[in-house]
Structure 1
Amino acid sequence: MFKNMIIYRIAPGWSPDLQVLEEALSKTPFAECGATQERSAGWVPPRGEQHGPLAESVAGQWVLRFMTETKMLPASVLNRKVCEKAEALEKRDGRKPGKKERRELKDEAKLDLLPMAFTKQGSMWVWIDPQARFLVLDTGSQARADEVVSLLVEGLPGFALALVDTQTSPQAAMAHWLMTQEPPAGFSVDRHCELKSPDESKAVVRYGRHPLDIAEVRQHVEHGKLPTRLAMTWDDRVSFVLTEGLQIRNVDLLDAVMDGAGADDRGFDTDVAIATGELSRLIPDLIEALGGEGRTGLGAGLPAALASSTTGPRGAPADSHPGEQPF
């Protein structure tokens, strides 16, 4: 549960109401793809119980589950079917189909093949902290996150979101931690990182299971390579990888957390309580380590490549994020 995290701040104008949330989710329940339907998406009961609630509250934390199903139709199979139809048309009419006709043949071929296609299902955990006013999505894909955010914003009155932003960019902070070997209080730097050149070469250096407190790593940063991923541990309780876009990936609750829960205690409520309990403390500590919320500029005393950087993830301005929904 929550192996990846994209974190949003919920606007203060929204009044949390679990019943209102349940009613909103019930308007878009998940249903399996129909015979000629390529994709289906919607909400399912988080506990996995048929006809159960779509929004569960555990220890004051709200948990949802978003499900998708996609028909798997290989391009080679579709192209072969189109060619068969084009050959049949040529034999019948004595001419090759034009571009418009070929597009129509492709649509026909897809409709013929979809009922026989295999399906692939995927799900995403969604966590709402109504008191701290965070929305956390268990995905590393901004496109998938945008889909869920759009559904929630459209369905809930006053529900507005913005991706969490920080005073210091994660990239600048990671570079500083690697240069000084002084991670923020409560955190430690682990043995994995990725550094990338911002120039046209896009040269990448990766360290896996390798000490990072070496001169070689500092030299890469001094020469302009920017950290895009850095493995860290918080409070000896949660390990994760921080990305340049302030995503948290590869989340793992460590033995210090799990030792407190016996095998007989494990279940949906226990898993949710443990995960959200730890992560609800990790998130504000990480935000504090990055200077608090609200970008005002990059840190001082960094290499020139970082000090002059004014762009965030995917080339967006430092004070904005892709998919952001302003308040």
Structure 2
Amino acid sequence: MWFRNLRFYRFSDEFTLPEDFEAKLNEHLFRACGRQEQSTFGWYSPFGADSEVLSHRLNECYLICARREEKVLPAAVINAELDEKVRQIQDAEGRPVNRKEKQTLKEDLVHQLLPQAFSRFRLSWGYLDLKRQLIVVNESASNKAEDFLGLLRSTLGSLPVQPVGTAEAAEVFMTDWLIGNSLPGAFELGDEAELRSPQQDGGILRCKNEDLTRDDIQAHVDGGKQVTRLGLIWQEQIEFVLETDLALKRVKATDMLMEQQDDLVDPTPDQKLDADFMLISAQVGELYDDLIRAFSSDSSN
């Protein structure tokens, strides 16, 4: 287990978990789709299907996992069936089929085909860091992270969180960092960036596997483009791409970090998960602290 994407949400009020947290999770346990359900979403054990434990605590951090089932009905299949239904009606009754009737026919087809549809499953991971009053969600898309938070909100009854943000636009900071490679001390440049012109019809420059200090890339910044995505390396431990909403994409542990992790001899799945979570919660927590300091108004001092 490793968090490949990081979205940070901060509690707006002092938050503690209820003593019956595990029981509350169990009330919203994942279940398979019924014959006419297109999707279901519920809590799932971090330790897998054979475990009934729905959370894993390490110090003041609580790891939780949700599972989603979605019935897959390819649009091409539905549209082909719909076209055939429309053709049959037109041939039999000699009249055109209007839009409203087509929509009704389509809904009926979905209802008929759902029991035969294949299922797609995916896991969504996150953890609560009560020391930092933070929730970290492993999702690249904000709507998927909001689904995770929505399930947690339904489970707990309320969830006073908001996305972590900055007082000044993040692209202002990242553009300043790229100019002259003047980053806060905990970070160094990676090899990826996206630069956008502030004009609505302006150009976009995307760089991968490049030396971002090159004169031609710096010239685009001098010409007015702003950095909207920036590859960074934190403490030689974690590589990631930072976006303007402070989401971290394509998060990867460096070889240096993995070499520092204690090697377990033939670890059980439970031991492996515990070791991974210990590494993630400790490193991501410190990374978050440095990231917030970097975006403070005096970060360059």
| 1:320 alignment partner in structure 2 | none
Say if 1:11 and 1:159, in contact at 8 Å, map to a contact too. Answer: no
The amino acid across from 1:46 in the alignment is P
CA distance in 2, matches of 1:152, 1:11: 16
- Asked if 1:23 corresponds to 2:23, the answer is yes
CA distance in 1, matches of 2:154, 2:160: 9
Deviation at 1:24, TM superposition (A): 2.7
Deviation at 1:158, TM superposition (A): 5.0
Deviation at 1:89, TM superposition (A): 2.8
**Structure 1 residues 217, 65: closer, same or farther in 2, change over 3 A?**
same
The amino acid across from 2:273 in the alignment is F
Structure 2 counterpart SS, 1:210:
coil
| 2:6 alignment partner in structure 1 | 5
- Asked if 1:289 corresponds to 2:294, the answer is yes
Say if 2:28 and 2:155, in contact at 8 Å, map to a contact too. Answer: no
| 1:133 alignment partner in structure 2 | 133
| 2:251 alignment partner in structure 1 | 251
Q: Deviations over 1:165-205 (max 9, x none)?
A: 22443211110011121110121111111111222324211
Q: Deviations over 1:96-144 (max 9, x none)?
A: 3332221111111112222222222111111100121110100111111
1:44-193 paired onto structure 2 within 5 Å? 44-157=44-157, 159-193=159-193
1:217-236 paired onto structure 2 within 5 Å? 217-236=217-236
**Structure 1 residues 63, 299: closer, same or farther in 2, change over 3 A?**
closer
CA distance in 2, matches of 1:200, 1:157: 42
Which sits farther off after the overlay, 50-59 or 181-190?
50-59
Which sits farther off after the overlay, 69-78 or 276-285?
69-78
CA distance in 1, matches of 2:119, 2:86: 27
- Divergent runs of 4+, >4 A: none
Structure 1 counterpart SS, 2:200:
coil
CA distance in 1, matches of 2:278, 2:204: 39
Say if 2:14 and 2:133, in contact at 8 Å, map to a contact too. Answer: no
CA distance in 1, matches of 2:278, 2:227: 33
Structure 1 counterpart SS, 2:114:
helix
| 2:198 alignment partner in structure 1 | 198
CA distance in 1, matches of 2:158, 2:91: 60
TM-score, scaled to structure 1 = 0.84
Say if 2:45 and 2:64, in contact at 8 Å, map to a contact too. Answer: yes
Q: Deviations over 1:6-27 (max 9, x none)?
A: 101113342223x433233222
- Asked if 1:216 corresponds to 2:221, the answer is no
Between the aligned residues of both structures, percent identity stands at 26
User: Cα RMSD between the aligned structures?
Assistant: 2.1
Say if 1:228 and 1:243, in contact at 8 Å, map to a contact too. Answer: yes
Q: Deviations over 1:204-256 (max 9, x none)?
A: 11111111112222221122211111111111111111111110111111222
1:294-309 paired onto structure 2 within 5 Å? none
CA distance in 2, matches of 1:244, 1:166: 9
Structure 2 counterpart SS, 1:37:
coil
CA distance in 1, matches of 2:94, 2:166: 66
Say if 1:22 and 1:55, in contact at 8 Å, map to a contact too. Answer: yes
Structure 2 counterpart SS, 1:3:
coil
Q: What residue ranges of structure 2 are gaps of 5+ in the alignment?
A: none
Deviation at 1:95, TM superposition (A): 2.7
| 1:268 alignment partner in structure 2 | 273
- Asked if 1:14 corresponds to 2:15, the answer is yes
Structure 2 counterpart SS, 1:26:
helix
CA distance in 1, matches of 2:167, 2:102: 53
Say if 1:126 and 1:138, in contact at 8 Å, map to a contact too. Answer: yes
**Structure 1 residues 75, 48: closer, same or farther in 2, change over 3 A?**
same
Q: Deviations over 1:271-319 (max 9, x none)?
A: 1101111111110111101117xxxxx999xxxxxxxxxxxxxxxxxxx
Say if 1:178 and 1:217, in contact at 8 Å, map to a contact too. Answer: no
CA distance in 2, matches of 1:158, 1:120: 29
Say if 2:165 and 2:245, in contact at 8 Å, map to a contact too. Answer: no
Which sits farther off after the overlay, 66-75 or 163-172?
163-172
